[in-house]
Amino acid sequence: MTSLTVDIPQSIKDSLKKFRFARRSAGHAALVIKINKADLIMEEVEQFDDISVEDLAEELPENSPRYVVLSYEVSHADGRKSFPLVLLNWAPTTSETGLLTLHASALLNFQNTAGVSKVIEMRDGPEGLTTEAIDSKLGSN
């Protein structure tokens, strides 16, 4: 029996659906979500279009966890491009322990709501979030 402690409001579900089905022709895009600890509800922080992984890393807080739904551009050997959705579990070790625990407890529910099967753990802060790190975790290098 699981206890859902953090609410995912309809506005977040709508943003996820819109983000998921957006047509992309180039670049990475990201939807950043945080947990409002006081209200136990998820909130959209920001959306980025055509952003590099390194620029995204600089936009994320160094001391606070986030869920980042990433539309990641992959170039295939035959010239095709695909844009798989990946969930970055941004959980820097310098974050407040209580918030990290809350964040971890809501991860599976958020992952299921977002409809993303691949989760990449990111605990090293901006230095750990690079194109090479994502490629190696996706096996697309």
What tens digit of pLDDT does each residue of 86-131 get? 999 999 999 999 999 999 999 999 999 999 999 999 998 888 999 8
Q: How far is the C-alpha of 130 from the C-alpha of 88, rounded, in Å?
A: 12
| pLDDT (0 to 100) of residue 141 | 46
* Residue-level pLDDT at 140: 58
| Other residues' Cβ atoms within 10 Å of the Cβ of residue 72 | 23
Q: In this model, does residue 82 exceed pLDDT 80?
A: yes
Mean pLDDT value across the chain: 90
75: CB partners within 8 A, 6+ apart: 81
Give the pLDDT band of residue 2 (cuts 50, 70, 90): very low
Distances (CA, A) of 59 to 7, 51, 64, 90, 138: 25, 10, 12, 12, 22
